Amino acid sequence: MSSTITKLNAPLTKAQAFDSQPSSEIQLTPTQTSNTVAQRLANFDTLTDALEYAANGVTGYNFYDARGNLRSVLPYNSLRQNARILAQRLYNFNLPRGSRVAIIADTSPEFVELFFACRYAGLVPFAMPIPVNLGSHAIYVQQLRGMLESGRASIALANTDYFPFLEEAVEGAKFVEWTGTPEKLYELPAHDVEFQANNPNETAYLQFTSGSTRTPRGVVITERALMCNLQGIVRYGLEVKPGDRSASWLPFYHDMGLVGLVLAPMVTQISVDYLATRDFAIRPLQWLRLISRNRCTIAFSQPFGLKLCTMRARESDLKELDLTSWRAAGIGAEMIRPEILRNFAERFASAGFNEKAFLPCYGLAESTLAVTFSKIGQGCKSIQIDHKTLIEKRMAARLQAAGRKHNEFVNCGRPIPGHTIKIVDDEGRQLSEMMVGSVLVQGDSVMTGYFNNPEETTKALKSGNWLDTGDIGFLFEGDLFITGRRTDVIIVNGRNIRAQDIEELAELQPEVRSREASAFGVNDSDGTTTIVLVIECRLTSVTERQSLITRLQQLVYMAFGVNCVVELVAPHTLPRTSSGKLSRFAAKQGYIQRTNLEHQLSFMESGDR
């Protein structure tokens, strides 16, 4: 096993020699770090304005394969040119401005080109995920179809690897007028039109946040919200400067990957080195090698990604790595457990990783991406909170005496300029510092709503345009600390899974009636989350019951790539609210009592949204 890993993690130079390219191919060189034009920090009106400026320089995007070889280079200059060429083809469809274009987003130059082509042509792109789970074919196609319908896409695009899935999904999708690959789009005649300038109030793109087959939600982000958030990220959060360079494995279909590591570098004209998410997941150290080799300064990850790196690193790897250039190791997208960061820092200290580079932050797609950043260059700060006071009074009291049971929470910092956070109780009343409650955010980065979904929009956007983030936390000296999530989102291995999406899957089974399934996550002491699905079941035959359990586990795995525990209970076991709605919070408490996991009873969540 260890020899396998050593071999796989062979230094890039060796890998290159081993996998040498035919001499007829031109050896690629990545775009430079230093640029030929003065840096502008996201002070643009729109994305296309920003690209027009970036195209004057020599920086851009670089794409690497699983072995660390550079496969394609896309300077911003070429991106601009190719996007404009594709945009001229998009005029063939005579679509009204603002029509949606769905694109399956693997980590490739084609995706970025299509994304910007849409903006040049006044269309609204949205990224759809690539399939990642074993046996997920049928469910993946349903998920795509859900997004196509919810986003009312007029055009759907995928490269040849994923085109067959897209074709299946388009069958029966009502609004799609044309489906194709980037190559097919290139073949269409060009329309020599003058591109109409985009307006900051127009929608820049939609961001989907859920793998639901029935109710996916597309967050509407305007050009103004995007640029406002990007300014907050690059000026306040990262203090981007000339000489910065990013490396990323984050998927382009996630907000952190798209906004943080595709758009933020472009609006500051810095170069980026990309590794596909799949390649990172299998060989995580390739990411660190890219940082080391190209002297990258900014790279983000979920805590889970850092954990993978720590797990896989061997002594021999550490000797080859030089992580001293890495000044901003942004950490976000899930609850940050300080020990994951400590383990990573310890493991990679000898490779020059400076723990002061840790940059915890907090954000969500509904606020474009970023909400708060801790202070750059200060590392991860946390505080210890008395456990008993937290549970009994929902109050964060600093630990007074050593030895008392406590919880440690990471400081996620302050809101980006122009944004405000408040903590409220279940009745919506604002709470004072140190009191634990729902985290609400207000500011120009907040979405205008979910596309074509007023019901979900009303749930998330409160009066005064306060966005209910769905997270629970407290403020201390103006800094935000997240203590948990509400029960409607379960995070497993860095993936956010909506409880409702799992329940929907269960209800597709003939044996399961609507509103008789409840899904939630339980954590064990080392922080691992297990998904539990409780079903009210009338079946009496052991074989039938077992068959249902197996089928449900399989479905959940196919859709979300995670295992789950299925518990069948008698009808009327699941607790309901007065309006007859299932309460996940109460269902979880019931499960914990039945299974004697009392220590799980936690302050981490409040009721259902």
- Could you list the beta-strand ranges (E) of 493-598: 495-498, 517-523, 529-536, 564-569
Q: Which is nearer to other proteins, 161 or 392 (CB)?
A: 161
Among the listed ranges 193-201, 217-225, 274-282, 601-609, the one in contact with other proteins (CB under 8 A) is 274-282
Q: Decide: is 136 part of the binding site for other proteins (CB under 8 A).
A: yes
C-beta closer to other proteins: residue 286 or 374:
286
**Rounded Cα distance, 491 and 485, in Å:** 9
Span of 1-9, 48-56, 214-222, 369-377 interacting with other proteins by CB under 8 A: 1-9
Q: Which is nearer to other proteins, 131 or 443 (CB)?
A: 131
Report if residue 333 touches other proteins, rule: CB under 8 A: no
Classified as helix, coil or strand, 534 is: strand
Q: What tokens were used for 582?
A: 């299932």
Of residues 57 and 305, the one with the C-beta less far from other proteins: 305
CB nearer to other proteins: give 124 or 308: 308
By CB under 8 A, is residue 53 in contact with other proteins?
no
Cα-based distances in Å from 14 to 194, 319, 529? 49, 15, 39
Looking up tokens 């979300």 gives: 560
Residue type at 137?
Answer: H
Does residue 159 contact residue 588 with C-beta atoms inside 8 Å? Answer: no
Q: Counting contacts by CB under 8 A, is residue 278 touching other proteins?
A: yes
CB 413 within 8 A of CB 111: no
Q: Which of 63, 120, 140, 205 binds other proteins (CB under 8 A)?
A: 140
Nearer to other proteins, 162 or 450 (CB): 162
In whole angstroms, how close is the CB of 119 to other proteins at the nearest point?
Answer: 28
Least distance in angstroms from the C-beta of 393 to other proteins: 38
> Does 281 help bind other proteins (rule: CB under 8 A)?
yes
Per CB under 8 A, 602 contacts other proteins: no
User: Which secondary-structure segment (H or E) carries 386?
Assistant: strand 382-386
Any bridge partners for residue 565, and if so which? 532
Q: How far is the CB of 162 from other proteins (least distance, A)?
A: 6
Helices (H) and strands (E) in the chain, counts: 21, 28
Span from 185-193, 275-283, 360-368, 536-544 in contact with other proteins (CB under 8 A): 275-283
Side-by-side strand order, sheet with 203-208? 178-180, 153-157, 100-104, 124-128, 203-208, 218-222, 449-450
Q: By CB under 8 A, what part of segment 466-485 binds other proteins?
A: none
Closest CA to 521 of 597, 408, 438, 412: 597
Residues with Cβ within 8 Å of 387's Cβ and at least 6 positions away in sequence, in order, are: 404, 405, 406, 407
Choosing from 558, 559, 568, 582, the residue that interacts with other proteins (CB under 8 A) is 558
Q: Nearer to other proteins by C-beta: 28 or 134? A: 134
The minimum distance between CB 508 and other proteins, in angstroms, equals: 17
Euclidean distance between CA atoms 118 and 223, whole angstroms: 13
Distance CA 267, CA 40 (A): 7
Q: Which residues ranging from 64 to 83 are in contact with other proteins (CB under 8 A)?
A: 66
Closest distance of CB 164 from other proteins, Å: 8
Residue 188 found at the interface with other proteins (CB under 8 A): no
Q: Interface with other proteins includes 171 (CB under 8 A)?
A: no
**Would you count residue 508 as binding other proteins (CB under 8 A)?**
no
Nearer to other proteins, 87 or 141 (CB): 141
Among 369, 491, 562, 566, binds other proteins (CB under 8 A): 562
Asked if 165 is part of the footprint of other proteins (rule: CB under 8 A), the reply reads yes
> Among 282, 349, 508, 601, which residue sits at the site for other proteins (rule: CB under 8 A)?
282
Is the Cβ of residue 34 or residue 554 nearer to other proteins in the bound state?
554
Place of tokens 């390649």: 279
Nearer of residues 283 and 293 to other proteins, judged by Cβ: 283
Residue 205 found at the interface with other proteins (CB under 8 A): no
How many alpha carbons fall within 13 Å on the CB side of residue 540?
0
Whether 375 contacts 413, CB under 8 Å: yes
Give, in order, the Cα–Cα distances in Å from 102 to each of 44, 80, 127, 177, 495. Answer: 25, 20, 6, 12, 22
Does 130 bind other proteins (CB under 8 A)? Our answer is: yes
**Selected range binding other proteins among 332-340, 419-427, 475-483, 558-566, rule: CB under 8 A:** 558-566
Helix ranges (H only) for 418-567 are: 454-460, 499-507, 542-560
Residue (279 or 504) nearer to other proteins, CB: 279
Q: Does 550 bind other proteins (CB under 8 A)?
A: yes
**Per CB under 8 A, 557 contacts other proteins:** yes
Quick check: 249 binds other proteins (CB under 8 A)?
A: no
Cα dist. 597→202, 365, 522, 551, 589 in Å? 50, 33, 9, 26, 9
561 makes contact with other proteins (CB under 8 A) = yes
Per rule CB under 8 A, count of chain residues that contact other proteins? 31
Contact stretch for other proteins (CB under 8 A) within 95-103, 278-286, 436-444, 465-473 = 278-286
Give the nearer residue to other proteins in terms of CB position, either 278 or 462: 278
For residues 250 and 257, the answer to whether their CB atoms sit within 8 Å is yes
Structure tokens at 297: 């300064």
Say which residues have a Cβ less than 8 Å from residue 3's Cβ, sequence separation at least 6.
Answer: none
In the bound state with other proteins, the residue whose beta carbon lies nearer, of 279 and 468, is 279
Give CA–CA dist 474/451, Å, rounded.
30
In the block, which residue shows the tokens 């956070």? 421
Shortest reach from residue 441's CB to other proteins, in Å: 31
Q: Does 131 bind other proteins (CB under 8 A)?
A: yes
Name which of 403, 408, 404 is nearest 382 in CA terms: 408
Of 143 and 483, CB closest to other proteins: 143
Which residues of this protein are in contact with other proteins, per CB under 8 A?
4-5, 7-8, 66, 130-137, 140, 161-162, 165, 278, 281-283, 308, 493, 550, 553-554, 557-558, 561-563
